Amino acid sequence: MRVDASDDALDTLFQPFADGVLSWPEQGGALFLRARDGVGLRQRPRPGLVCEQDYKPAIDALHRGGLDTVDLDSLPADQRYPLVLVLPPRQRDEARALYAQALARTAPGGRVVACLSNDEGARSGEDDLGRIAGKVGSLSKRKCRVFWTAPLDGPADPALAAAWAGGDRPREILGGRFLSRPGVFAWDRVDPASALLAEHLPADLAGRAADLGAGYGYLSAELLARCPRITALDVYEAQARALQLARTNLQRVPSSVPLEFFWHDVTAGLGDRGYDVIVSNPPFHAQGREERPDIGRRFIAVAAQALNPGGRLWLVANRHLPYEVVLDERFGEVRTVAQQGGFKVVEAIKAKAAGKPAGTTTAKPAGKFAGKPGGKGGARA
């Protein structure tokens, strides 16, 4: 995200400080949960600020801006802050768990300050924070609502806070076949678009494969089960919590195929790795409700770059998304395999004489995922 880009929720989060309603702590710093870089964060110095984020594009932007980031799992259990800022996610169980975590990280006399846009549940978010923290103040601006607690000495309802703290923990789904958790795309089911793509994967797919935007690992598991000639599989996901689940789920699959896992922003490119097969149900939202077909188009361009000549992309997307131009530009052969339930399955084959398209990135992926790194993937078709 560009620092000069509009982010109404982020800007409104800092409005009480700009208006003098709240004061930035003089000592002890502040913890920013699900932080994003942007104008509101940059309007004045924020001494002692540390940021948490599990969505790779967002944490990359924080790092580019020189902001300090932290993995909550690495913080001492007794680490507390006089101010905890929160940009809650849309999924309510995940958001409630984040409010409980924010309270647990707030020092005695400190405050929690959170902000949501009105169309992402601002009123419900304010009510939820009030249920575990007690009375809250609020103000509205930019079609968003920022709300904050009184100075705290622990939760007003400790039992409810404890229950909510575990509300987004991993749990088994689909009869125990997969482990998932709230906040991950299609977390408690098989996404119908991914199911449609899996149903049409041909058994003759062979060689080194990649799953771009893997979520909790459903498509990767189906690829391994349906295509016995796959020899290696790389799993890419921008949301840290989803990638952790994919690692666990794919270790359960009875397969000897070597696996690698990357916490990575696919739109940055995949470097010089060459693949024979790529499967993807690409996201077309980032961290908000706004439709972003440019993300899906970039996934397609990156896949074309990363495939070996003759390599095959198997893609599923909403039928209305305008991907045909980039598919035709980047691939030698494109065919629609299926259309059902508002989705389309496409096979695209890279021309055997094709080189790398001009102007594409050769940035290498961030390192192999090994434990929670601290960055959230977008909603898919």
What is the residue-wise DSSP string for 54-88?
-BHHHHHHHHHTT--B--GGGS-TT--EEEEEE--
Residue 293 gets the label, from left (phi > 0), alpha (psi -120 to 50) or beta, of: alpha
Q: How many CA atoms lie within 13 A of 48 on its CB side?
A: 14
When pLDDT is averaged across residues 324-335 and rounded to a whole number, the result is 95
Secondary structure class of 121 (helix, strand, coil): coil
List, in order, residues 6 or more apart from 336 with CB less than 8 Å away: 344, 345, 346
Q: Where in the chain is the domain with CATH 3.40.50.150?
A: 8-165, 171-349
Spatial distance between the Cα atoms of 177 and 154, rounded to a whole number of angstroms? 38
List, in order, residues 6 or more apart from 338 with CB less than 8 Å away: 196, 199, 200, 344, 345
When pLDDT is averaged across residues 377-381 and rounded to a whole number, the result is 37
Spatial distance between the Cα atoms of 286 and 56, rounded to a whole number of angstroms? 11
Spatial distance between the Cα atoms of 231 and 117, rounded to a whole number of angstroms? 46
Classify residue 334 as exposed, middle or buried by CB count within 10 Å of its CB (0-12, 13-18, 19+): middle
The predicted pLDDT at position 286 comes to 62
CA distances from 160 to 103, 131, 298 (A): 12, 8, 43
* Distance in angstroms between the alpha carbons of the first and the last residue of the chain: 22
The predicted pLDDT at position 289 comes to 60
The predicted pLDDT at position 68 comes to 95
The predicted pLDDT at position 240 comes to 96
Architecture in CATH for domain 171-349:
3-Layer(aba) Sandwich (3.40)
List, in order, residues 6 or more apart from 162 with CB less than 8 Å away: 100
Q: Which two tokens stand for residue 34?
A: 């699900």
Q: DSSP code of 197?
A: H
The mean pLDDT of the chain is: 90
Residue 366 has pLDDT above 60, yes or no: no
The CATH homologous superfamily for domain 8-165 is Vaccinia Virus protein VP39 (3.40.50.150)
Residue 87 has pLDDT above 80, yes or no: yes
Spatial distance between the Cα atoms of 91 and 378, rounded to a whole number of angstroms? 12
Residue 373: pLDDT band by 50, 70, 90 thresholds?
A: very low
pLDDT tens by residue, 154-213:
899 999 999 999 999 999 999 999 999 999 999 999 999 999 999 999 999 999 999 999
